[in-house]
């Protein structure tokens, strides 16, 4: 780590040259560098034993009143730690494992050659070096603490497969010599790690990934910041096919036509799409994708419903786990005839509630017009009568975009699946008056423990009771936990 990447204040070192850096992982605030690389690297803890593991899968030791965190270490490891940064605001130091004297019982050699921080620099699987029991115990501890605060029962649900499950992956494009590499940013860095042979993506994605690297290298495609550069490649797979999405700086790039034809000829590729992003931004997509070769929509069965998924659309990355959660929601929803699906996306959650239940009157709301169009098509394909509307759920007055009269006006059940930031304030305010809505049950699917905890606490203050909480291992090898909560209106 260079001096320019050090975050925070280090030990008792005197002030040196100042620089600032913002963590790409979003876990650290901006700190001022106050020591040189040589001074940083000189602070080494020798022969220490890792005492525990935090929620981010970092091993730690206690050093006086400060905690030293080290990625790639597990409890029981005896290691030398090189401190690289310190927090000004919390009693924490950050370290790298300089050498290993002995490994603890819960250390597992990662199966992937790129898995950082033990073997490579890819940060996509921070738990690959942990035993299954330790990783599960660490995740469960977070859920248990949440359930205790909320006063509810909870259960843990394993993923059926811990490798080869991911149906989509985004790769940043770079060059190493004459070779084009589809990789990922290393944690808290702009350095790009190779991802060839990734173990968590579906095998079809891994195969097409390798062929694309060879093809793009042979075509000498410009990459990244280069003129007409290819910035990102996104691969989405179903059981039958793969769709390739290219994020380009220029839709009229001179290399693009030849590359699209060549990519479409790769075995298993059913379509190629492009989207233009010439902005200096961390966002991958800033415009809708356009299919330029073959078919861009893939079909995948989630639970009891087959969903059409377009390039750029959101769909759950683990079909097996998402299907189990959708089926659970459908069981919880038995008896409800008027259902609202808020943040409905392409319709998967609500359509599973209505599948094989012709008496259900389903309404779905979502702010993305393309997603609503897909939801309507998915409902029609499944033979389900549903009404959908484009509604900005982040704005006050969003309720006016939902049915105000007729058979769908007063839902018995509301299902929500918001983005990582959770329910908007405007939605929380409306849901906070359950008797006015008429709903007696609320089912909440969440991809973030923290935002779910905030929303659940507020909902319970406003007349809802969390009766049951499920935690699902949606993305094995990662720190991610997917939650499913069933709320009932308080009497």
Binding site members for S-adenosyl-L-methionine: 316, 343, 366, 417
Give CA separation, 246 vs 240, 243, 374, 474, in Å: 20, 10, 21, 26
- Quote the CA–CA distance of 365 and 352 in Å, as a whole number: 16
Please say if 125 is a catalytic residue.
no
- The tokens for 188 are 């808290």
Contacts of residue 228, defined as CB under 8 A and 6 or more positions apart, other chains included, come to 222, 248, 249, 250, 253, 254, 255
* CA atoms within 13 Å, Cβ hemisphere of 434: 21
Find the helix packing angle between 256-264 and 203-218, rounded to 10°: 140
Among residues 247, 233, 311, 312, which one has the least CA distance to residue 278? 247
Give CA separation, 349 vs 316, 341, 346, in Å: 11, 7, 9
Q: Tokens 């030791």 sit at which residue?
A: 61
- Quote the CA–CA distance of 289 and 276 in Å, as a whole number: 8
Are 360 and 353 within 8 A, CB to CB?
yes
Are 103 and 86 within 8 A, CB to CB?
no
Strand 290-294, strand 168-176: pairing: unpaired
| Helix runs in 219-368, H state only | 256-264, 319-332, 348-354
Cis peptide before 448 (omega within 30 of 0): no
Q: What is the DSSP string of 231-259?
A: EEEEEEE-SS-EEEEEEES-TT-TTHHHH
Q: Which of 35, 112, 344, 447 is catalytic?
A: 447
- The tokens for 428 are 């929380």
- Quote the CA–CA distance of 216 and 255 in Å, as a whole number: 10
Are 430 and 414 within 8 A, CB to CB?
no
Catalytic positions are 447
């Amino acid at each position: 780590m260079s001096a320019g990447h050090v975050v925070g204040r280090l030990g008792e070192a005197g002030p040196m040259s100042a620089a600032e850096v913002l963590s790409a992982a979003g876990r650290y605030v901006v700190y001022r560098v106050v020591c040189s690389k040589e001074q940083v690297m000189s602070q080494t803890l020798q022969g220490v034993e890792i005492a525990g593991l935090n929620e981010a899968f970092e091993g730690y030791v206690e050093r006086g009143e400060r905690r030293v965190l080290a990625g790639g270490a597990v409890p029981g490891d005896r290691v030398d730690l090189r401190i690289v940064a310190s927090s000004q605001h919390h009693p924490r130091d950050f370290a790298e494992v300089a050498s290993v004297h002995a490994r603890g019982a819960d250390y597992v050699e990662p199966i992937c050659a790129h898995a950082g921080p033990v073997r490579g620099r890819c940060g996509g699987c921070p738990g690959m070096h942990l035993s299954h029991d330790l990783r599960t115990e660490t995740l469960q501890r977070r859920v248990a603490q949440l359930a205790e605060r909320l006063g509810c029962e909870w259960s843990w649900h394993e993923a059926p497969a811990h490798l080869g499950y991911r149906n989509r992956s985004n790769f940043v494009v770079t060059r190493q010599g004459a070779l084009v590499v589809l990789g990922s940013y290393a944690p808290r860095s702009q350095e790009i790690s190779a991802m060839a042979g990734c173990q968590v993506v579906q095998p079809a994605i891994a195969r097409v990934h390798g062929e694309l690297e060879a093809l793009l290298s042979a075509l000498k495609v410009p990459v990244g910041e280069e003129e007409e550069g290819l910035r990102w490649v996104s691969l989405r797979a179903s059981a039958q096919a793969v769709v390739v999405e290219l994020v380009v700086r220029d839709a009229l790039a001179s290399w693009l036509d030849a590359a699209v034809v060549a990519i479409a000829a790769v075995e298993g590729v059913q379509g190629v799409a492009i989207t233009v992003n010439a902005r200096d931004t961390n966002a991958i997509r800033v415009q809708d994708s356009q299919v330029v070769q073959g078919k861009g929509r893939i079909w995948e069965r989630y639970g009891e419903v087959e969903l059409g998924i377009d390039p750029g659309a959101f769909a759950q990355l683990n079909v097996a786990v998402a299907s189990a959660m959708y089926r659970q929601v459908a069981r919880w929803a038995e008896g409800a005839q008027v259902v609202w699906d808020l943040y409905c996306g392409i319709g998967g959650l609500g359509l599973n509630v209505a599948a094989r239940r012709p008496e259900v009157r389903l309404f779905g709301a979502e702010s993305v017009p393309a997603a609503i169009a897909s939801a309507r098509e998915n409902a029609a394909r499944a033979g389900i009568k549903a009404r959908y509307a484009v509604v900005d759920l982040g704005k006050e007055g969003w309720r006016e975009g939902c049915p105000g009269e007729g058979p769908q006006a007063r839902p018995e059940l509301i299902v929500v699946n918001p983005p990582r930031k959770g329910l908007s304030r405007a939605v929380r305010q409306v849901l906070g008056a359950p008797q006015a809505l008429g709903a007696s049950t609320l089912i909440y699917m969440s991809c973030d423990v923290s935002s779910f905890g905030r929303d659940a606490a507020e909902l319970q203050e406003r007349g809802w009771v969390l009766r049951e909480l499920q935690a699902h291992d949606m993305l094995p090898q990662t720190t991610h936990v997917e939650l499913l909560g069933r709320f009932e209106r308080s009497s």
